[in-house]
Amino acid sequence: MKTTMTSWAATLVCVGSVCPGISGAQTLDPRIGHWAQQPGPRSVGMHVTYEDLGEGGFRLTLAAHSVPAQRQIVEAKCDGRTYPYADGNGKPTGSTLSCRFTAPRTVEYLFTAGDQTVWATSTGVETVSEDGGMLAWDAMHRDTSGRVVDEIHSRFSRRDDEPSGR
């Protein structure tokens, strides 16, 4: 289960509360809120929460309904810098996130896994549907040699009616 959780954690990284450089006005990130993974062949029933921290900052909680030790939390901005993850107890995981907006509803990211036994990095794109009801994750996991070892395509439904699990 730990490997599955870590694998899914990598695909969920990257959200910002502001889209810098896309337009003259700052736009709220449509990913802010609570999301539940849609059923599918590789679905693990993941829940994630994106919280607006203001000034372009966000907190992403992966596995929001899991016990604190299994959660992955990052506080960051999608500004191209690298930010560290911690578990729900505040212990550093060794994983990091870097992201940037490429459109008002699209983010590109690089997640580096702290435990690189299955894969080392995940690069991908997150996109929120035009109506704001679906979040798509499309990612490639690579080993330490840069070889693609897995490809993830997952969909999440907005579930702001559910508690975040915090």
**pTM score, two decimals?**
0.79
Q: Which amino acid is at 24?
A: G
Q: List, for residues 69-91, the tens digit of each pLDDT value.
A: 999 999 999 999 999 999 999 99
The answer to whether residues 158 and 34 touch, using CB atoms and an 8 Å cutoff, is yes
Neighbouring residues of 114: CB distance < 8 A, sequence distance ≥ 6: 85, 92, 93, 94, 95, 96
List the beta strands (DSSP E) in 26-147: 33-37, 47-54, 57-62, 72-77, 83-86, 92-103, 106-112, 121-128, 134-142
Residue 144 has pLDDT above 70, yes or no: yes
Residue 97 has pLDDT above 60, yes or no: yes
Q: What are the structural domains, with CATH classification, of the chain? A: 2-18+30-158 (2.40.128.20)
What's the CA gap between 133 and 87, in Å, rounded? 27
Token pair, residue 40, equals: 């599918």
Mean pLDDT of 138-147: 96
pLDDT band for 166, please (50, 70, 90 cuts): low
What's the CA gap between 113 and 130, in Å, rounded? 31
Q: Which residue has the higher pLDDT, 157 or 10?
A: 157
Q: Which residue has the higher pLDDT, 46 or 15?
A: 46
